[in-house]
Chains A and B, each alone.
Chain A
Amino acid sequence: MSEIPQDLRYTKTHEWIMKNDEGTLTVGITDHAQGLLGDLVFIEAPEEGTTFQEGDDSAVVESVKAASDVYAPVDGEVTASNEALEDTPEIINNDPFGDGWIYKIKPEDSGAFDALMDAEAYKELIESADE
């Protein structure tokens, strides 16, 4: 069973979202997602200043097996991108909810975080997909 931290929010496309003190959100892919993808070998993270609408292709994660899009969980502007992923994409496999974060985004609507799926709902989602 993959890990699902309680304090994070989730999307049905397997991104996780963390609320930071300065009003930004950190975005990554879940343990479940990295497990499905397998060994990651290339990450295309968005540049600082890029703006997204919710659901836009915001990053690409590629494993030996397949390429997968990472969708923007909210409308907003990218404030930071995890540069370490460029040379060591496997961080996402090793620490998907920590050092394997992909980018930070400043949401247009400060309430957007609370509208996202919580850990319980995400757990149900992946359990129902496994059946």
Chain B
Amino acid sequence: MGKRTPLYDMHISQGAKMVDFGGWDMPINYGSQIKEHNIVRSDAGMFDVSHMTVVDLTGDKVRDFLRYLLANNVDRLKNEGKALYSCMLNEKGGVIDDLIVYYVKDTFFRMVVNSSTREKDLAWINKQAESFAVTVTVRDDLTMIAVQGPNAREKAHLALGADTAAQIKNTAVFFIKFVNDSNMGEIAVARTGYTGEDGYEIMLPKEHASTFWAKLAEQEVVPCGLGARDTLRLEAGMNLYGSDMDETITPLEAALTWTVAWEPADRNFIGRAALEQQREQGVATKLVGLVLEDKGVLRNHQKIFIDGLEGGEITSGSFSPTVGKAIAFARVTSNIANTCKVEIRGKQLAAVVVKPPFARNGKSCI
């Protein structure tokens, strides 16, 4: 038996098909992954993402600590509540994890890191935090529910009730708001997500998880599994840690150069020297988006051929319900032009190279 989130019984009662996901029993779908995917693009869906790790960082030097820990620069966060996506690198520039950090106030930042990387992340963060006297608190007392889709916020407001809704409804994109909810106590509502749609990620005390999930269901927010979450994030052009990058891959090789804050040049962050060297020398491989022209489905680890020579592999591949074709990220040699071939069961099928996202805000970008 795997670890269970506070919503486990709820998932079972809603007919979820459960799978092992990094040691957690998680819903892969509740019947149809494609229906769940489409509902998030057209209306509102909810995801149990309580397996992810919420880490609170507090102390007088927490900003200095994050300036050193992360490849992106928390000094880009000027307003309280603003969020930043960043990689956390090792000395070689390899990605230990990708994460979102929320600037709550000058002595308090909240980070959400992946579940599969939890132990190594915490070990690394704690080790680096020592010299900054930053307190690292893992918030296992919280559950996280993502409500995503064009109608997600409106429905979440109804589920949360008028008082809380009034406090969060003006939250801007990529901001978090802490609220004292009359039913649930302190909750945090972030206008972030992993689907390419508007919506919230809501962190709330565990003991209220089932009640709140049921309230969302009353507003006809549809439960969605990790299957739909994966196709949604792929369409939205968002990387998956462990598939699209890991500790042997730098952000420059993972289409994440935009998340590296080179300026100011005197900001010393872990991995900087390695990244600068790589930037100067150029990268041998890069991550690109592919759309399969022929019929078939792109899958992880299928081989890519460029001008007849093997030149990489697919890191995340699937059928895209929104585009109606197979799409993928592939790590390929830097000489790739506009097209390539993908080997599927011994046949070489034609694919075009595109710049993700493949779909966002309900529409195909292809």
- A residues within 8 Å of B by Cβ? 38-39, 41-42, 44, 60, 62, 64-65, 67, 86, 93
- Per-residue contact bits, chain B 305-347, to A (CB 8 Å; 1 contact, 0 not): 0000000000000110100001000000000000000000100
- Per-residue contact bits, chain B 24-60, to A (CB 8 Å; 1 contact, 0 not): 0000110011110000000000000000000000000
A67: which B residues are within 8 A, CB to CB? 297, 299
- Per-residue contact bits, chain B 269-305, to A (CB 8 Å; 1 contact, 0 not): 0000000000000000000000000011101000000
Complex CA gap A64/B231 in Å reads 8
Residue from the list A44, A64, A86, A93 in contact with B318, Cβ < 8 A: A64
Measured CB to CB, the nearest residue on chain B to A35 is: B17
Given contacts A39-B33, A39-B34, A42-B319, contact A65 B295 (CB under 8 A): no
List 26 A-B residue pairs with CB atoms under 8 Å apart, sorted by A's residue number. Answer: A38-B32, A38-B33, A39-B32, A39-B33, A41-B34, A41-B297, A42-B295, A42-B296, A42-B297, A42-B319, A44-B296, A60-B345, A62-B296, A62-B297, A62-B319, A64-B33, A64-B231, A64-B318, A64-B319, A64-B321, A65-B28, A65-B33, A65-B227, A67-B297, A67-B299, A86-B295
Query: Are A64 and B34 in contact, CB atoms less than 8 angstroms apart?
Result: yes
Tell me the smallest distance from the CB of B292 to a CB of chain A, in Å.
Answer: 10
B318: which A residues are within 8 A, CB to CB? 64
Tell me the smallest distance from the CB of B343 to a CB of chain A, in Å.
Answer: 13
Tell me the smallest distance from the CB of A77 to a CB of chain B, in Å.
Answer: 22
Q: Which of A42, A64, A67 has the most chain B CB within a 10 Å cutoff?
A: A64
Measured CB to CB, the nearest residue on chain A to B296 is: A42
Measured CB to CB, the nearest residue on chain B to A66 is: B299
B35: which A residues are within 8 A, CB to CB? 39
Interface footprint category on B = 10 to 19
B297: which A residues are within 8 A, CB to CB? 41-42, 62, 67
A39: which B residues are within 8 A, CB to CB? 32-35
Query: Are B319 and A41 in contact, CB atoms less than 8 angstroms apart?
Result: yes
B321: which A residues are within 8 A, CB to CB? 64
Query: Are A38 and B295 in contact, CB atoms less than 8 angstroms apart?
Result: no
Query: Are A38 and B296 in contact, CB atoms less than 8 angstroms apart?
Result: no
B227: which A residues are within 8 A, CB to CB? 38, 64-65
Q: Which of A39, A60, A86 has the most chain B CB within a 10 Å cutoff?
A: A39
Within 8 A of A (CB), among B186-236: 227, 231
Measured CB to CB, the nearest residue on chain B to A65 is: B227
Complex CA gap A60/B345 in Å reads 10
A38: which B residues are within 8 A, CB to CB? 17, 29, 32-33, 227
B326: which A residues are within 8 A, CB to CB? 42
Complex CA gap A61/B295 in Å reads 12
Tell me the smallest distance from the CB of A83 to a CB of chain B, in Å.
Answer: 13
B319: which A residues are within 8 A, CB to CB? 41-42, 62, 64
Complex CA gap A62/B321 in Å reads 14
Complex CA gap A60/B216 in Å reads 39
B299: which A residues are within 8 A, CB to CB? 67
Given known contacts A39-B32, A41-B34, what 17 new A-B pairs fall within 8 Å (CB)?
Answer: A38-B17, A38-B29, A38-B32, A38-B227, A39-B33, A39-B35, A42-B295, A60-B345, A64-B33, A64-B34, A64-B231, A64-B319, A65-B33, A65-B227, A67-B297, A67-B299, A93-B32
A60: which B residues are within 8 A, CB to CB? 345
Tell me the smallest distance from the CB of B125 to a CB of chain A, in Å.
Answer: 33
B295: which A residues are within 8 A, CB to CB? 42, 86
A86: which B residues are within 8 A, CB to CB? 295
Complex CA gap A28/B297 in Å reads 20
Complex CA gap A2/B52 in Å reads 34
A93: which B residues are within 8 A, CB to CB? 32
Complex CA gap A67/B326 in Å reads 13
